[in-house]
Amino acid sequence: MTAPLPRRRAVALCHVSFEDLDAIGPLLADAGYDIEMVEIPVRPDFAERARDVDLLVVLGGPIGVYEAADFPFLVDEIAVVRERLLAGRPTLGICLGSQVMAAALGARVYAGTNGKELGWKPLALTAAGADSPLRGLAGEVPVLHWHGDTFDLPEGATLLAGSDQYPHQAFAFGSHGLALQFHIEGSPAGLERWYVAHVGELAGVGMPIAKLREQALAFAPAAHAALRTMLADFLAANAAR
C-alpha cells in the first residue's frame, strides 16, 4: 500500500477576523495543507509563525501599509514577507496582502487618486497574466474590488492584470510570489460579515449592500472556478519548494 503524502503547512496572516481565507480554505485543505490562522494584531509571534511554513497567505484589511506609526506590526510583517520572497518561499497576497508584498519588494504603496474601487467587475489580463495562474479570469470574469490604495509595480515583478480604474491589480514575483489587489476568495455567505463591518464605509460611498449581495450571488461561482485553477497552478509550480 502506498503511504499517504505528508501534509504541508500553510499560515494565513489575518488583519481582521472577518477577512479570512473563505473559499481558499477548503481548497488548501483538499490540496494537503494544514492551515493555521494567525491574527497579526494580537499575535506578537506572527513573524515567527510565518517565516518557514510551506505556504504563506497574507490577507486583506482596512489599513494601509504606510500606517506603521499607528500599526507598528506592519514593519515586521513587511520584513518577513520580504525575507520569504527573496528566499523563494511561496507567498500569496490578497488586497492589503498584495500591498504588503509590493512594499516588501521596495515599491511605493499609496492612496489611489482615482477614488475607491468597490464592487464586482472583470479585469484585463496582460499577455503574461493569460499564461499565469490567473488564466481562469480570462473572458470577462468579474471579481470583487474593495480598495482605495494602489501600488507601483515592484522591480523584478511581472504585471498580470489591471482594471480601468487602477492598472496594477496583480503581479507575480518569480513563480513563488503572487499578489492580487482584488478578492477572488469571497463567498456570498462569507461576505455578509464584511457588509456588517463596513456598513459605514459603504454608506459613505453610496454603495447599496443589496447591490453587493446581488453581485456576489451572480458572480462568485465563476470567480471561484477561476480560484480553483489559480491555486492548482500556483501550488503545482511550488510543489518542490
Is 80 exceeded by the pLDDT of residue 230? yes
| Amino acid type, 198 | H
Closest CA to 103 of 85, 89, 123: 85
What percent of the chain clears pLDDT 70, i.e. is strictly above it?
Answer: 98
Distance, in Å, from the CA atom of 181 to the CA atom of 183, rounded to the nearest integer, reads: 7
pLDDT tens for 52-108 read 999 999 999 999 999 999 999 999 999 999 999 999 999 999 999 999 999 999 999
The cell for 138 is 480570462
Among all chains, which residue has been given the C-alpha cell 483538499?
A: 30
Classify residue 128 as exposed, middle or buried by CB count within 10 Å of its CB (0-12, 13-18, 19+): middle
pLDDT band at 2; cut points 50, 70, 90: low
What share of the chain in percent tops pLDDT 90?
95
The whole-chain average pLDDT of the chain stands at 96
Q: Which three cell numbers stand for residue 113?
A: 487618486
pLDDT of residue 4: 63
How far apart are the C-alpha atoms of 25 and 227, rounded to whole Å?
A: 11
pLDDT digits (tens, 9 = 90+) for 26-49: 999 999 999 999 999 999 999 999
Please tell me the predicted confidence (pLDDT) of residue 5: 63
- Domains of the chain: residue spans and CATH: 8-237 (3.40.50.880)
Three-state SS at 191 = helix
Res. 241 pLDDT band, cuts 50 70 90: confident
pLDDT at 123 over 80: yes
Task: Label residue 3 by pLDDT band (50, 70, 90).
Answer: low
